C-alpha cells in the first residue's frame, strides 16, 4: 500500500527539522549560555557546538540516504 510513496518528503522533513534545531539553538542569548563558565572563551559557546553537531549529522544523513 505504501510502497509507491516517495521517500524524499521524509528526507526533506528530517533535514528541515535538524536545521531548525540548529537555528533554534542560536536564539539562546550568549550570556545565558556562558553564565556558569569560568571564562567567556569562544569555544565554550555550546550553541556553536550544537550547530557543528547538526552539520555532522546532516552530512552523515546525506551520505547514507
Burial track 11-42 (b if 16+ CB lie within 10 A, e otherwise): eeeebeebeeebeebeeeeeeebbeeeeeeee
Joined together, the cell numbers standing for residue 25 give 539553538
Whether residue 11 has pLDDT greater than 70: yes
Average pLDDT rounded to a whole number, residues 34-54: 92
pLDDT for 1 equals 66
Angle subtended at Cα 65 by Cα 52 and Cα 62, rounded to the nearest 5 degrees: 25
Whether residue 2 has pLDDT greater than 90: no
Q: How far apart are CA 10 and CA 12, in angstroms?
A: 5
Amino acid at each position: 500500500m505504501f510502497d509507491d510513496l516517495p521517500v524524499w518528503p521524509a528526507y526533506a522533513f528530517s533535514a528541515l527539522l535538524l536545521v531548525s534545531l540548529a537555528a533554534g539553538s542560536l536564539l539562546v542569548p550568549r550570556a545565558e549560555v556562558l553564565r556558569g563558565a569560568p571564562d567567556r572563551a569562544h569555544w565554550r559557546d555550546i550553541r556553536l557546538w550544537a550547530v557543528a553537531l547538526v552539520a555532522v549529522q546532516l552530512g552523515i544523513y546525506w551520505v547514507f540516504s
